[in-house]
Structure 1
Amino acid sequence: MIDGRATLVSRIKKYWRKKREVRYTFMLVPRGSGVTKSINIPFFIIVLFFLLFAANIYFLVRYPLRLSEIDNLDRKVYQLNDVIARNDNDLKLIDPSIKKTEEFEAIVAQHSEIIKQIEALHRSILDKKAGKF
C-alpha cells in the first residue's frame, strides 16, 4: 500500500515536472504583410486562466440565483408582515373582551372566597347548635 502511494506520488511529480516545462505559444499573424509576433505562455498561467474562468462562470450563475432567493425571502417577509398586521387588528378587536373577562374572573374569585367564608361560618354555627341540644 505504501509502495503504491509512493509510486503514485512519484508519477504525479514526474507529470508536474513535465507539464511545468511545457510552454504554449500565442502567435499574432497580420492580415497583410508584416511581422508575425509570438508570445510564450507558461503552463501554470494557462491553468490559472482556466481556474479564473471557471470561478467567473460560477459567480455569474450564482449571482442571479442569489437575487431570486432574496426576492423570495422579501415576498415571504411581506406576507408575514401582512399576517402580523391582520393579527394586530384582530387583537385590537378582541382585547376589550379579554379585559372584561379578566375583570369578571377577578369578581368570580372574590365571590367564591366570600362563599367559602359564609360556608365556614355556617358550619361553625351548625356545630355550635349541635352541641347545645
Structure 2
Amino acid sequence: MDPIYVMSYGETDWPMRAGRAGFRSVICAAAKVYHDIEPSVGWRDGIMLRGSPYRAYYFSRNRTIFMKRFANPLQYACFLVFFNPAFFLAYTSIYLACRRMDLVGACARGFVDGLVEARRVSRLPAFSPSAEDSASEGRHTMLQG
C-alpha cells in the first residue's frame, strides 16, 4: 500500500493501480468487516463519537491526491472546480452544525494540503505488486485478467 495515504484511500488506490496493470479485482460480497468502535445512532452522534481531527484531515487531503493520480485531466478539472469544493462545504457544514470547530480546521488544512501535495504527485502508471506489498497484505486477491 502506498504510504502517502496514511489512513484513507489506500484501499481504493491498490485495486486502481492493479487494474491499470491488467489485474482484475475479485470481491466476496458476503464478507463482513468488524470495527472496534461503538455504532452510532445517527449522523450527529457519528460526528460526535468518531470525529477526530486526524480523520477529517486525511479524508480531505487524500481525496485530492487520489483524484490527481487516477482522473484524466478533464475529470480532475471538474473535480477541482465542482466536487472538491462541494465535499468541503458539505463536511464543514456538518462539522459546524455539530459545533466541532476542531474538525472544520482539520478539514480545511487537509483541503489545502491535498491541493499542495497533488501538485507534486503525477498520474500513476500501472504497478506490479512488490514482494514487500504481498508479504504485508498476505495473499492478495488480484487476478490477471
Give TM-score scaled by structure 1 length.
0.18
More strand, by proportion = 1
More helix, by proportion = 1
Radius of gyration: which is bigger?
1
